[in-house]
Structure 1
Amino acid sequence: MKFDFDVAIIGGGLVGLATACALSQCDLNVALIDTKVQNYADLDSDIIGVRASAINGSSQHYFAQIGVWDDLCASQRVQAFTEIGVWEKDGQAHLSAHAQDFGYQNLGYIIENHVMSHYLYQYALACSNIRFFSYEAVNSVLNDDYASLTLADNTILQAKLVIGADGAHSWLRQQQKIPVIERDYIHHAVITTVTTEYRHQSCAKQIFYPNGIIAFLPLWQSNKSCLVWSTKPNKASNLASISEMEFANELFALTGDKVGHCQLINPRMVFPLKARFAKCFVKHRLVLIGDAAHTIHPLAGQGVNLGFQDSALLVATIKDLVAANKKDIGLSKNLQVYQLARRKDTLVMLAAMRTIQDMFNGDLLLKKLLRTIGMNAVDHCSPLKKQLIKYAMHI
């Protein structure tokens, strides 16, 4: 069978779902291709997700524009954080920020990924101009007038534009032979959820030590946090395989003074960390967004926000093209302004993450001195700290 759409999106993760929902408001017919998106149909109130994301002000505004923010808040699983604390283990470097000191209600929100996916999926299901396809795409052809996708069940989808939102190992990016610049962070992330002895008090915490970074993202229960422990690959494998008690003891040795003893709630998951940057985000009839276009270290929690910023600007660009005498939304020349803006923002963030990780990697005396001087100088300079916070919040 053959179907015609205005836009076809490959990938039903957070960024793909958000893009479909937002495009539905542009009076466009949207196909969303994903084999697992139906897993988001139900939300168990008793299950705390393994993965959570820090959502900045820009992403929150985007959710409100789409129309899912009120539903997310009504779930009572949105945790605003009003403070951030950054420390160096066995060092003097320290940085903290309180929302009220800068006139903000909060600095962002921590939300479980599966909760966001659930409400985006429910919104998309209610849209008559979004159609889901559960078979994977097996071939893609970008023609002059349309993109053609063949699914595993031999269904053919034709669209003016195909959007690749299919993650760091994007099938579409590989199919279209788009090169990627990669840099191994030489870190793997161990992710789980923990109960902490001390209440999180709406504070997002990061502890740096010579071999890694440990982050606690406060969840909607006062003593529950998402744990993201970035460390050397061999150490990450060890942390994933030792007993829960051994894991908790190692964690306490590094973070006990900040959170107390921890107890694991969920299994531990391990993810290799790489910086990726596609050499082009836009081709004729194709756009890459989210992790399909770029990945960064999770130490600043900006990865998913970069993806939502991609989505928001792409939707706004498409909306303007549709309004401007039905301009072709799939022509690469009509999407160049979008590409330039997103590549610039992404490169700045990639450079920032590399600088921060390199600075905190190792325990050389000179590095420790520079860390202490630099972080403490920022901590005592309110105007600079406010600018950094505004950049992180993307407001």
Structure 2
Amino acid sequence: MSIQFDVAIVGGGLVGLATACALSDYDLNIAIIDKNIHQHECLQADKIGIRASALNGASQRYFTQIGIWDDLCSSGRVQEFTEIDVWEKNGQAHLSAQAKDYGYPNLGYIIENHVMSHYLYHYALASNNITLYSQEVIDSVFDDNCAFLTLADQVTLPAKLIIGADGANSWIRQHENISVLERNYIHHALITTVETEYPHHACAKQIFYPNGIVAFLPLYHPNRSCLVWSTKPDYAANLALLSETEFSYQLFQLTGDKVGHCQLINPRMIFPLKARFAKQFVKHRLVLVGDAAHTIHPLAGQGVNLGFQDSALLVSTIKKLIDENQDIGLVSNLKSFQFTRRKDTMVMLAAMQTIQDMFNGDNLFKKALRTVGMNTIDYCSPLKKQLIKYAMKI
């Protein structure tokens, strides 16, 4: 039986689309299956997305490799940030950094998720060897030489390798009985877009307080930012129900004169926060990437970067196997990918858990410890530079 596809990607979000686009310059037949895939077709110039992501240097280079970075920049929707400012409300802990102090042009980029998806979608749409299926997957079967995905319209797609990029509640992961280690962060994230009284000046801000974290990610408009407010579930639910005036008042109580008064631009959305780590990233003819493999707390903005790092390494692994005429679906050929990505993800999960635990609550000992720790980093330029280089993946 002939193989219709070399790679079939379940999930047409950021990581799934990026993986398909990066593979498209090889002689491969690629399928993307996502019932909502065509939602990325239109980009309204006056519509600001609710969700945005902070891209590090590695993700920016990956977009350059794919061939969409220049298009993204030409859209006028890419905002570089050149400064970070982190502090503790009612405490002495503080950490700040400016790119110019270390000879960097910036510390990263903030881009709305729907803008990135739009350009990746059109790149995929224009690729001769990528086929888009606006369908749900309802069954999967794996045999020695091939995998088969059955779609809702009863079409069956054979492929040498299935890539699961269908998010935190991955259907393919659950269907193939891949278990997940989970830990609730005891936080929900409220995400929206705000217009701030004071311009952001390309500075990403983050405020820790006993019951949560408030982050402002600067957008391409000088007074607009993506707001990520992670806090206890009950309080997050209450915040979502407040009038716009009362919500802005509660936000001002935490941020004070750092951003001034805020006006809501978009509706408020609530997302439960949970650490997830799949026990296997790789099975026979199946690989999990992005949120299907792992999720972390958004406090450092590294979730999407981890997903793009999964994608980039998987793409380079597949290309190497093809060049060596090796089977891209065998676990033995994908072990190095799994080892590297599991290791890097575990380090990031541990770091995020440690930071959240340290800033959770108002315990005097923890308060003193985080004050000493953050201020030591802030005053130790070589250490701070190393941390910045690690976060930026320079």
TM-score band, normalised by the shorter chain?
A: over 0.9
The alpha carbon displacement at 1:9 in A equals 0.1
**Per-residue displacement from partner, 1:198-229 (whole Å, max 9, x unpaired)?**
10000000000000000000000000000000
The Cα shift of 1:8 comes to: 0.2
- The DSSP-based 3-state class of the residue aligned with 1:92 is coil
- SS of match in other structure, 2:24: helix
Q: CA deviation at 1:335?
A: 0.3
1:335 corresponding residue in structure 2:
334
**Structure 2 matches for 1:42-53, cutoff 5 A?**
42-53=42-53
**In structure 1, what is the equivalent of residue 119 of structure 2?**
119
Paired position in structure 2 for 1:311: 311
SS at match of 1:169: coil
* Aligned residue in 2 for 1:350: 349
C-alpha contact (below 8 Å) 1:6/1:30 kept by paired residues: yes
Amino acid at match of 1:287: V
Question: Hey, what does 1:222 align to over in structure 2?
Answer: 222
Listed as ranges, the matches of 1:260-339 within 5 Å are 260-324=260-324, 326-339=325-338
Give the 3 Å change call, closer, same or farther, for CA 245–341 of structure 1 in structure 2: same
SS at match of 1:25: coil
Mark the CA change 1:329 to 1:3 in structure 2 (over 3 Å): closer, same or farther: closer
Q: Quote the residue 2:19 is aligned against.
A: 19
In the alignment, what sits opposite 1:154? Answer: 154
Task: Extract structure 1 runs of 4+ deviating beyond 6 A.
Answer: none
8 Å contact 2:3–2:160 — kept in the other structure? no
Aligned twin of 1:211:
211
1:1-40 equivalent positions in 2, closer than 5 A: 4-40=4-40
1:241 paired residue number: 241
TM-superposed CA distance for 1:86, in Å, is 0.2
Residues 60-100 of structure 1 show CA distances to partners (whole Å, capped at 9, x for unaligned) of 00000000000000000000000000000010000001001
1:143 aligns with 2:143: yes
Residue pair 2:83, 2:99 contacting (<8 A) in 1 also: yes
- Distance in 1 between the 2:356 and 2:190 partners? 17
What is the CA–CA distance in structure 1 between the aligned matches of 2:115 and 2:135, rounded to whole Å? 24
* Contact 1:214–1:228 (CA under 8 A) maintained in structure 2: yes
RMSD: 0.8
Is 1:165–1:292's contact at 8 Å kept on the other side of the alignment? yes
Distance 1:220 1:28 in 2: 37
Residue in 2 that maps onto 1:181: 181
Using structure 1 for the length normalisation, give the TM-score.
Answer: 0.99
SS of aligned partner of 2:50: coil
Provide structure 1 residue ranges, at least 5 long, that are not aligned to the other structure: none
Deviations, residues 232-271 of structure 1 (Å, cap 9, x unaligned): 0000000011111110000000002210000000000000
Residue 196 of structure 1 aligns with which residue? Answer: 196
Contact kept in structure 1, 2:52 and 2:226, CA below 8 Å: yes
Q: SS at the partner of 2:42?
A: coil
Gaps of 5+ in 2: none
Range with bigger deviation, 207-216 or 34-43: 34-43
Partners of 1:188 and 1:32 lie apart in 2 by 31
* Contact 1:3/1:156, CA 8 A, preserved across alignment: no
Q: Distance in 1 between matches of 2:289 and 2:105?
A: 30
Shift of 1:3: 7.4
- What secondary structure sits across from 2:169 in the alignment? coil
In the TM superposition, residue 107 of structure 1 has moved relative to its aligned partner by 0.3
- Maintained 8 Å contact 1:208/1:360: yes
**Contact conserved, 1:188 with 1:230, CA < 8 A, in 2?**
yes
Task: Please name the residue that 1:387 is paired with.
Answer: 386
Q: Report the AA paired with residue 356 of structure 1.
A: I
Distance, in Å, in 1 between the alignment partners of 2:15 and 2:322 is 21
Q: Give 2:353's aligned amino acid.
A: R
Structure 2: distance between partners of 1:157 and 1:356: 44
Equivalence for 2:362: 363
Distance 2:89 2:339 in 1: 39
Residues 52-91 of structure 1 mapped to structure 2, 5 A cutoff: 52-91=52-91
Alpha-carbon offset, residue 170 of structure 1: 0.2
Matched with 1:164 is 164
Q: How big is the shift at 1:103?
A: 1.0
Number of residue-to-residue matches in the alignment: 393
